[in-house]
Amino acid sequence: MKRPLSAEQLAALYDESKEKLPKSERARWLDDRLAAQVSFAYEKAPAVKAKFDKAGVAPSDIKTVKDLEKLPVTTKDELVKLQAQDPPLGGFLAVPLNSLSRVYVSPGPIYDAWGDERVMAAVRGMVRSGWPKPGDVCLVANMYHMVPAGLFITDVLDMIGCTVVPAGIGQTELQVKLLKDLQVSAIFSFPSFVMTILQKAEEMGYDVKKDFNIKYVTGGGERHIQVLRKVFEEKYGLIVGDGYGTADLGTVAYDCGRGEGYHYDDNECVVEIVDPDTGKQVEPMEVGEVVVTLLSNVYPLVRFGTGDLASYVDETCACGRSSPRITKILGMVGEHVRVKGMFVHLRELDEAMSKFQNISKYQLVLKLEGHKDQVQLNVEADDVPDKNQFAEQISARCQDVFKLRMDDVQFLPKGTLPEDYKKFVDTRWG
């Protein structure tokens, strides 16, 4: 168990004025720390040195966030390979392994080095949001083995001075009993499981608002949080904490409480949204990959690609904070194609097709005619009396959802597409 911090120590962790710096001052604050960070990382982490040397870049070449474009992005797949070549942490660790408080293991498998600084970052986030508070009874309904979920949250709550109920996943009825008997005030889990627990409580005859003491729930880690968030807030009167992070990096962006995107956490890291093909930073509201450089003395990843696609806004938020905000996570790199200058995400294609109950399979095929992109949609569908009319409806729906008209819609006999078919086929480069 980690020892609780005093009220003074907790307050000292968080400096709101830093988050509300005018934009130019914010940029300077970030650039200065980035420059120091890359020098440190180059010196201490052999994999970072190798990355710079291979690109022909010196640490002194990185003076601003924009300068990071000179370096390639390290993908998750590359990290897995580097860890296999140079176990356990691929040459990114800047401290002896046995000085880490935790080593987690994420699917990949990939080792995640967590020093106390990652825990402190999350404590700081909780001080920022004002929840939970010392003395709160917290149900942690997250996995407790391998991954940084349950145990990590427990470490954080210990430092705040909360009482933790390490419930783990499953046993929904028992979770409801714990909520009631222990008068739990905060639930830490993923939103869909929180919803399952609350619905189970209602099935068991409880009134969530009256019979329980729940005030706060978290909503990290799932993309449909914004839908559930409304239900948590409006139906159950709960405060919802939300952030964006990954197992490799910890939390990299946070919701200030307004539910209008995730502020880059300048204290912990440098966030870029970059074109996955070129590695160049994109403009606000353009789609790119979330790429992160940790401001870490323990695990100094430089330009690590999360594989998540997102867009961002750069206007000062109504909360007064000046860091840009990730608007939302749109999908995964690899689950998108770019055609006619547009991104199409698998999720959007799924969304467009979900309107047509009679379509069982669909596949977007990208071809080149001359130098022009051509988009063909293959579908397997039942009951199509008028193919031309239906093709027109499908094309209009695609335009509505992802701003792209189909050049051609082909109706395939059922069973033409094999079970393991790909929804995107790009023949333009082959």
| Contact footprint for Zn ion (CB under 5 A) | 256, 317, 319, 321
For the chain, how many residues are written? 430
CB atoms within 10 A of CB 25: 12
> Minimum distance from CB of 297 to Zn ion (Å)?
28
286 residue type, one letter: E
Complex with Zn ion: residue 269 or 326, whichever CB lies closer = 326
Complex with Zn ion: residue 119 or 317, whichever CB lies closer = 317
Complex with Zn ion: residue 231 or 319, whichever CB lies closer = 319
215 residue type, one letter: K
Cα distances (Å, whole numbers) of residue 273 to 39, 278, 320, 337: 23, 12, 22, 17
> Minimum distance from CB of 259 to Zn ion (Å)?
9
Complex with Zn ion: residue 313 or 384, whichever CB lies closer = 313
> Minimum distance from CB of 13 to Zn ion (Å)?
19
Bridge partner list, 309: 289, 331
300 residue type, one letter: P
Complex with Zn ion: residue 254 or 299, whichever CB lies closer = 254
Cα(188)–Cα(220) distance, rounded to whole angstroms? 9
> Minimum distance from CB of 10 to Zn ion (Å)?
21
Complex with Zn ion: residue 125 or 279, whichever CB lies closer = 125
Distance of CA 226 to the CA centre of its chain: 14
Element (H, E) at 114: strand 110-114
Cα(70)–Cα(290) distance, rounded to whole angstroms? 16
Helix, strand, coil percentages for the chain (3-state, nearest 5): 35, 25, 40
> Minimum distance from CB of 427 to Zn ion (Å)?
44
> Minimum distance from CB of 317 to Zn ion (Å)?
3
> Minimum distance from CB of 319 to Zn ion (Å)?
3
What three-state secondary structure class fits 34? helix
- Residue 415 — φ and ψ, nearest 5°? 90, 0
> Minimum distance from CB of 229 to Zn ion (Å)?
15
**Per the structure block, which two tokens stand in for 186?**
């905060």
Complex with Zn ion: residue 258 or 280, whichever CB lies closer = 258
Count CA atoms within 13 Å of residue 159 on its CB side.
Answer: 22
> Minimum distance from CB of 318 to Zn ion (Å)?
6
> Minimum distance from CB of 325 to Zn ion (Å)?
7
Question: Cβ distance 80 to 110 under 8 Å?
Answer: yes
Question: Could you tell me whether strands 137-140 and 163-165 are parallel, antiparallel, or unpaired per DSSP bridges?
Answer: parallel
Distance of CA 154 to the CA centre of its chain: 21
Complex with Zn ion: residue 20 or 200, whichever CB lies closer = 20
Cα(287)–Cα(276) distance, rounded to whole angstroms? 9
Bridge partner list, 312: 326
Report how far apart the first and last C-alpha atoms of the chain are (Å, whole number). 56
Complex with Zn ion: residue 321 or 345, whichever CB lies closer = 321
Bridge partner list, 343: 338
Cα angle, residue 295 at apex, residues 102 and 76 outer, rounded to 5°: 65
Complex with Zn ion: residue 264 or 299, whichever CB lies closer = 264
Complex with Zn ion: residue 1 or 318, whichever CB lies closer = 318
> Minimum distance from CB of 233 to Zn ion (Å)?
17
- Residue whose structure tokens are 């189909």: 406
**Per the structure block, which two tokens stand in for 337?**
């194609």
